[in-house]
């Protein structure tokens, strides 16, 4: 089994968010896919199988399967465009979150994702204890989004992961209005055995709708302020979010396992 290691939302290796990608003729067992994800020890390993004109795509974290992942979709698209579908200009994936289409536009790959519906929730003492700073607002969709008052608080924040798992939401994001970028953020995935996601596409399906409404604009340039860092070119289209970024190949490996 081939396994491609791709840095997504990156312009060069060692930036953005690494994902492992396996393109298969058929799916192995869920148990084996989870073991591969655990062995890879990345935030996501993607498994793609050709399904008619489209590809069926599934994402596994070391903690289990997840319903939506942006950077691993970007990484899978990069692999397919460069090794399997070299003449294609778009690829549609069948996923747990419905059809997802990725379009090749020069050096950028543009993904069309569903936006999560957010509801405002009270800021709690537990949020402050987990993050080490008190949010000014909190919003809940699939994930919890905590809005911080100052951009300068985002990058140096060191959360208490033992308390993050007690908060609502599958993932927990912090975000603030940026100066160079429209928004800056970080994403924590302690419930999925991933302390921090370096650049989180599905997280921006929460973050982009929030800032688009706050800033009164549909085009958002978002920066993930993790140690690796990554930039997302985003836009709102009704109840959909377009996320665009580049990707680079780090390695191609042979997995010596029985499928």
Contact 104, 237 (CB under 8 A): no
**What gap in Å lies between CA 232 and CA 216, rounded to an integer?**
18
Tokens of 233: 């070119």
Cα–Cα distance for residue pair 28/7, rounded to 1 Å: 24
Provide the 8-state DSSP code for 153: G
Q: What backbone phi and psi angles, to 5 degrees, belong to 257?
A: -135, 155
Residues 178-201, buried b or exposed e (16+ Cβ, 10 A)? beebbbbbbbbbbbbebebbbbbb
List the catalytic residues: 44
Give the largest CA-CA distance in the chain: 53
Per DSSP bridges, beta strands 90-95 and 54-61 are parallel
φ and ψ of 181, to 5 deg? -115, 160
């Amino acid at each position: 089994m081939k396994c491609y290691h791709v840095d997504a939302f990156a312009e060069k290796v060692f930036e953005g968010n690494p994902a492992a990608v396996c393109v298969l003729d058929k799916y192995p067992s869920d148990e084996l896919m989870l073991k591969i994800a655990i062995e890879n020890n990345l935030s996501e390993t993607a498994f793609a199988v050709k399904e008619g004109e489209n590809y069926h795509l599934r994402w596994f974290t070391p903690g289990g399967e997840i319903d939506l992942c942006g950077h691993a979709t970007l990484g899978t698209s990069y692999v397919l465009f460069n090794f399997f579908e070299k003449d294609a200009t778009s690829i549609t994936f069948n996923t747990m979150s419905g059809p997802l289409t990725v379009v090749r536009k020069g050096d950028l790959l543009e993904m069309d994702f569903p936006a999560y519906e957010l509801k405002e929730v009270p800021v709690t003492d537990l949020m402050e204890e987990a993050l080490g700073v008190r949010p000014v607002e909190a919003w809940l969709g699939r994930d919890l989004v905590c809005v911080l008052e100052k951009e300068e608080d985002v990058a140096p924040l060191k959360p208490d992961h033992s308390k993050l798992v007690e908060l609502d939401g599958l993932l927990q994001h912090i975000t603030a209005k940026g100066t160079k970028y429209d928004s800056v953020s970080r994403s924590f995935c302690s419930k999925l055995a991933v302390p921090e996601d370096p650049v989180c596409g599905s997280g921006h399906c929460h973050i982009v709708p929030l800032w688009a409404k706050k800033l009164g604009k549909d085009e958002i340039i978002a920066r993930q302020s993790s140690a690796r860092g990554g930039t997302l070119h985003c836009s709102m289209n009704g109840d959909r979010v377009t996320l665009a970024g580049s990707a680079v190949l780090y390695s191609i490996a042979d997995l010596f396992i029985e499928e």
